[in-house]
Amino acid sequence: MRKFIFLTLLIATSCGLKTSDEIDSEAVNKEIKSRKIKRLKEGEIMESAFNQGKRIIEKLDTQLGNQASDCEKEVSSLLAEKDKSLVLNARITCTLATDAGEKETMVWEAYQYNLEQNLPFEDNLQKLGGDELLYSHPIILKDSAQKEQLVVLRLVLSKREVIRRF
């Protein structure tokens, strides 16, 4: 019996069991929290995505400055490191892309209508399908002839990452 207990202790200590001093409890707690099942309503997810998109756009607006007039420019490189997993694509567009989906076309046409009718502009969030959300932020620029031009700063957000950050 003593041999069995001795062998069990010998095997247990040789397997490299970690003591509480060697375990990064903060990292373990963070991992447990990220894997926790969350029950969220669609409205809560959309509201969170809208708020996160707005926060990212505010940062990009200040970084872009006069570069907002650079049409069809990819701006993902300007994102903060913590936002790169949330934002799948970030771009400035001055025209409707030929490969734009139905939702993106509808948003673009609504912005064009607001421009023509001198109506106020608001940011917009749409589901693209699957795991993607489209956050769009209109910017109105005036050229040298004081003609207004619509520029849209668009972000494609990962719905999965929005939920994870909730």
Backbone angles phi, psi at 137, to 5 degrees: -130, 115
Nearest to 163 by CA among 27, 30, 29, 47: 47
d(CA 94, CA 31): 41
Q: Answer whether 129's CB lies under 8 Å from 49's CB.
A: no
Tens place of pLDDT per residue across the chain (166 aa):
666 666 666 666 665 555 556 778 888 887 787 777 778 899 999 999 999 999 999 998 887 766 666 777 888 888 889 999 999 999 888 888 777 788 888 999 999 999 999 999 999 999 998 899 999 999 888 777 778 888 899 999 999 999 888 7
The model's pTM is 0.74
The residues spanned by each domain of the chain are: 41-164
Q: Answer whether 138's CB lies under 8 Å from 109's CB.
A: no
